[in-house]
């Protein structure tokens, strides 16, 4: 083999070189790819399919007016619970003085009584006593002297004559036909109004609670004297010719029936008389005050007797006649027995089960009852 004869290795190298030359020639002569950029200053020749499109005018562009952004609504600030107005200031001494004067309609100051046309009663003698005891607080009414103030008012007698010309207008201006029980009922109603007004003022809770406690002490005082007046009407000066004692509470009890029209005098209730809606709260106050030690027996026992022996129950024509006032008796009894302590009090009365009574005698006594023997005089 001659040295100039090509070897297999030389053939392989030559073939590889030829392939590389062909690949280099192919890459240089290949068309520009669609993703490559056209050199500046040259443009590709348009094809026949694009020639028609190039001759057409471009469609007009649609101009759109940008919309204004929506106007933002500012949120309305909501008041927080922490932003509440502060509670009004509460002067306990001033409130006590005003409340006692409003409830009892009294004053220790002569000018105050004169400005009211003596509708507010001037307690001259008590004012002089307090002036000698406390010279600096002679005209101030408080819980320390409210019991003396009420007693001084109850002891005033419109029928009394006086040589004191300064005090004479006070006695002349007193209601001449008003009973002590009526005055106490009016004070009780004014106390309830004062309590409602207090709760609406928005004072601090502690101040309101202290004031309510003082009102309850005044309520207890008024109810105590109202119960004593029902037992002993002559304890204080009373007008002449008026029905006194237990009968004064029987009237409001009879008015509870809407069908007992012959008893009702009108739709409006005087300020010194219990309205049908006030009877039950008044009875509850009486029961709460006199329930201990069964004191309620002496306060309401005679009231029950006057009610169950009312003349409307003993008419000759019976209960089926045209007079329906007996329904007021039923309504009054319902109001009484709706309060547990009063219902228990009725069962302790001697008339509930008389001594030496038998079933037969009770039945016969009910059937043959004589109105003259069972009616309160």
Domain definitions of the chain by residue range: 89-237, 246-377
Reading phi first (left if > 0) and then psi (alpha if -120 to 50, else beta), residue 192 is in alpha
215 vs 352, more confident: 215
Residue 368 has pLDDT above 60, yes or no: no
Mean pLDDT value of segment 350-375:
65
The Cα–Cα gap between 291 and 342 comes to 8
Q: What is the pLDDT of residue 259?
A: 46
Q: Are 314 and 326 in contact (CB under 8 A)?
A: no
260 vs 267, more confident: 267
Q: What is the pLDDT of residue 351?
A: 83
The Cα–Cα gap between 159 and 241 comes to 13
Q: What is the pLDDT of residue 48?
A: 46
Q: What is the pLDDT of residue 5?
A: 58
CB atoms within 10 A of CB 342: 22
Q: What is the pLDDT of residue 328?
A: 87
Question: What does the block give as tokens for 7?
Answer: 């070897």
The Cα–Cα gap between 100 and 189 comes to 13
Q: What is the pLDDT of residue 219?
A: 98
The Cα–Cα gap between 296 and 357 comes to 25
- Render pLDDT for 80-137 as a digit per residue (tens, 0 to 9): 555 567 778 999 999 999 999 999 999 999 999 999 999 999 999 999 999 998 887 7
Q: What is the pLDDT of residue 352?
A: 84
The Cα–Cα gap between 343 and 248 comes to 20
- Render pLDDT for 219-246 as a digit per residue (tens, 0 to 9): 999 999 999 999 999 999 999 999 999 9
Q: Which residues, in sequence order, are bridge partners of residue 122? A: 107
List the one residue out of 313, 288, 303, 292 whose CA is nearest residue 346: 303
Q: What is the pLDDT of residue 278?
A: 95
Confidence of residue 69 (pLDDT cuts 50, 70, 90): low
Q: What is the pLDDT of residue 18?
A: 79
- Kindly state the helix (H) or strand (E) to which residue 127 belongs, with its residue range: helix 124-133
Reduce the DSSP state of residue 261 to 3 states and report it.
coil
Residue 67 has pLDDT above 50, yes or no: yes
- Render pLDDT for 282-291 as a digit per residue (tens, 0 to 9): 999 999 999 9
Mean pLDDT value of segment 4-30:
70
- The residue behind tokens 């694009």 is 50
Q: What is the pLDDT of residue 375?
A: 46
Question: What does the block give as tokens for 193?
Answer: 């109004």
The Cα–Cα gap between 182 and 39 comes to 119
Q: What is the pLDDT of residue 36?
A: 46
**How far is residue 268 from each of residues 86, 153, 180, 187, 265, measured CA to CA in Å?**
40, 27, 21, 18, 9
- The residue behind tokens 């408080």 is 142
Mean pLDDT value of segment 170-178:
92
261 vs 59, more confident: 59
Q: Count the helix, strand and coil residues of the chain and give each as a percent rounded to the nearest 5.
A: 55, 0, 45
The Cα–Cα gap between 209 and 43 comes to 99
pTM of structure: 0.72
- Percentage of the chain beyond pLDDT 70 is 73
Q: Is the dihedral of CA 214, 218, 221, 224 positive or negative?
A: negative
Mean pLDDT value of segment 137-141:
82
26 vs 129, more confident: 129
Confidence of residue 361 (pLDDT cuts 50, 70, 90): confident
Q: 215 burial class (0-12, 13-18, 19+ CB within 10 angstroms)?
A: middle
Most confident of the ranges 12-16, 92-96, 269-273, 291-295: 92-96
Q: What is the pLDDT of residue 354?
A: 78
163 vs 274, more confident: 274
Q: What is the pLDDT of residue 235?
A: 94
Residue 249 has pLDDT above 60, yes or no: yes
350 vs 187, more confident: 187
List the one residue out of 174, 139, 145 whose CA is nearest residue 157: 174
Q: What is the pLDDT of residue 242?
A: 93
């Amino acid at each position: 083999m001659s040295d100039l004869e090509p070897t297999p290795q030389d053939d392989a190298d030559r073939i590889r070189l030829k392939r590389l030359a062909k690949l280099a020639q192919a890459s240089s002569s290949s068309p520009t790819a669609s993703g490559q950029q056209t050199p500046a200053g040259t443009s590709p020749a348009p094809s026949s399919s694009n020639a028609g499109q190039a001759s057409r005018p471009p469609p007009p562009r649609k101009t759109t007016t940008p919309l204004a952004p929506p106007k933002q609504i500012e949120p309305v600030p909501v008041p927080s619970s922490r932003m509440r107005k502060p509670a009004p200031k509460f002067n306990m001494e001033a409130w006590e003085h005003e409340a006692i004067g409003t409830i009892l309609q009294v004053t220790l100051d002569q000018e105050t009584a004169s400005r009211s046309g003596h509708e507010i009663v001037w307690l001259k003698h008590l004012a002089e006593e307090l002036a000698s005891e406390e010279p600096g607080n002679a005209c101030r009414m408080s819980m320390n002297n409210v019991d003396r103030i009420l007693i001084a008012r109850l002891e005033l007698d419109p029928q009394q004559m006086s040589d004191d010309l300064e005090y004479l207008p006070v006695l002349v201006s007193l209601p001449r036909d008003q009973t002590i029980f009526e005055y106490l009922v009016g004070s009780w109603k004014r106390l309830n109004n004062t309590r409602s007004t207090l709760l609406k003022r928005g004072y601090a809770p502690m101040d309101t609670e202290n004031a309510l406690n003082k009102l309850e002490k005044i309520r207890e005082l008024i109810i105590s004297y109202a119960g004593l007046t029902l037992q002993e009407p002559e304890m204080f000066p009373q007008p002449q010719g008026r029905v006194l004692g237990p009968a004064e509470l029987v009237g409001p009890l009879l008015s509870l029936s809407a069908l007992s029209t012959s008893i009702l005098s009108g739709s409006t209730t005087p300020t010194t008389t219990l309205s049908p809606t006030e009877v039950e709260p008044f009875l509850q106050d009486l029961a709460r005050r006199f329930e201990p030690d069964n004191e309620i027996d002496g306060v309401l026992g005679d009231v029950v007797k006057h009610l169950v022996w009312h003349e409307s129950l003993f008419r000759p024509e019976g209960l089926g006649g045209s007079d329906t006032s007996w329904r007021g008796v039923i309504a009054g009894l319902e109001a009484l027995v709706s309060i547990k302590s009063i219902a228990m009090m009725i069962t302790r009365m001697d008339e509930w089960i008389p001594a030496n009574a038998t079933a037969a005698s009770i039945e016969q006594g009910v059937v043959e009852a004589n109105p003259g023997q069972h009616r309160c005089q």
